Structure 1
Amino acid sequence: MRIKFCGTASLTDMQCAVDAGCDAVGFIMGVTYRSADVVTPAEAADMIRHLPPFIEPVAVTHLQETTDLVRLAKDSHCTTLQVQNTVEPSELSAIRGALPYVKIVKAVHVTDESAIATAELYEPYADALILDSRTEERIGGTGIPHDWNISAKIVANSTIPVILAGGLTPENVREAVRKVRPYGVDVHTGIKKDGLRNPEKTLAFAREAQNALPNSGNKRSAGKIRSGSEFARIR
């Protein structure tokens, strides 16, 4: 089970995530909705210089224009771009052309069963999907779970990795993983205490996520790999 800790705003946050055995750390930049733990691309780049090998830095952003998204990834030195807002699928292809070394993760907000069609729309253009919750004010970091039954349907039918987010905590992530069977999980507010990333909650989240599936221990899902013909179709 892959784990991303989002909302990394300091070296202390980052070390907390690394100590818990994360696979990725998210840096929230370029926001147009209400958000917490926002950093600049320069601040993210400075932190990434201290990131150990084999941990993925992820740019999480609300930006929508292709040129802005490309610039953000370049300036922050992130190697994964998480597009949290609405963009045309063709724009993801344009980003891939400009940044062939960057993985693209597209957020799908699970508000009702229409999310299934949205996931199918973006699937050919993204490297992974992330299923999140939203409100009028926030398009991420809501702390509110969504309907995992819908998320489970998306995972079951997807040909690319699907990451589960939205209101996950150390207390509910085990149930969520068993219900949805995602490629990975993503958490932000659920590992905070008094507004800060908490080492105990972060460790507890990682432990619960990794041990959610019977006999899984620390085994990792291999995910799904597209065939060459599928890549040729979308590029």
Structure 2
Amino acid sequence: MRVKFCGTASLADMRCAIDAGCDAMGFIMGVTHQSSDFVTAAEAAKMIRHLPPFIEPVAVTHLQETEDLIGLVKESRCTTLQVQNAVEPSELDVIRYALPYLKIVKAVHVTDESAIETGKLYEPYADALILDTRTAAKIGGTGIPHDWNISAKIVANSAIPVILAGGLRPENVREAIRKVRPYGVDVHTGVKKDGVRNPERTLAFAREARNALLQD
């Protein structure tokens, strides 16, 4: 099971994720909705310089304009782009043409069963989907789980990898994985303690995620 830790805002955050054996690390940039732990593209690039091999740096952003998204990726030096906000599916092809090396992950907010259709809409254009929770104020980092039954339907019928996010934490990630069967999982607020990324919770999350399917 692949594991991404999102909201990396310091070298201490980065060290927690590296020590837990993460596969990917998210840097939140270009925010237009309420968010925590966001950084500038320049700050992300400076941290990514210290990232060891085989860990994928992910630009997680609310930006919607194609040129802004391309510029953010270039400045931050990320190799994956996670688009949290609404964009036209065809615009993802424009980004891919400009940055041929880039992997594109499109967020689908699981508010009801309409998320199934939304996922299908983006499948031909994205490299993966990430199933997340939203509120009126936040389009990520809510700490709130969504309906995993809907997420499981999306995973079962998707032609591309699907990552599960939204309210995951060490205490529930095993159950979530066993129910949804995603390609990977993504966590932000669920590994915090007293407002900062906690080494013990980060390690526990990774351990629970990777062991979730061992009994099958």
TM-score (norm 2): 0.99
Q: Which amino acid is 1:6 matched to?
A: C
Deviations 1:144-183 (A, max 9, x none): 0000000000000001000000000000000000000000
- Is 1:95 the counterpart of 2:111? The answer is no
Correspondence for 1:73: 73
Correspondence for 1:7: 7
Correspondence for 1:109: 109
How far apart, CA to CA, are the structure 1 residues paired with 2:115 and 2:40?
30
Gaps of 5+ in 1: 217-235
How far apart, CA to CA, are the structure 2 residues paired with 1:13 and 1:64?
27
Deviations 1:56-85 (A, max 9, x none): 000000000000000000000000000000
Correspondence for 1:173: 173
Deviations 1:73-103 (A, max 9, x none): 0000000000000000011010000011010
Q: After the TM superposition, which segments of 4 or more aligned residues of structure 1 sit over 3 Å from their partners?
A: none
How far apart, CA to CA, are the structure 2 residues paired with 1:4 and 1:103?
15
After superposition, residues 48-197 of structure 1 pair within 5 angstroms as 48-197=48-197
Q: How many Å apart are 1:214 and its aligned residue?
A: 2.9
Q: Which amino acid is 1:205 matched to?
A: F
How far apart, CA to CA, are the structure 1 residues paired with 2:19 and 2:181?
25
| Aligned-pair Cα RMSD in Å | 0.6
Gaps of 5+ in 2: none
Q: How many Å apart are 1:138 and its aligned residue?
A: 0.2
Q: How many Å apart are 1:215 and its aligned residue?
A: 4.1
Correspondence for 1:33: 33
How far apart, CA to CA, are the structure 2 residues paired with 1:95 and 1:44?
20
TM-score (norm 1): 0.91
Deviations 1:196-219 (A, max 9, x none): 000000000000000001347xxx
How far apart, CA to CA, are the structure 2 residues paired with 1:105 and 1:133?
15
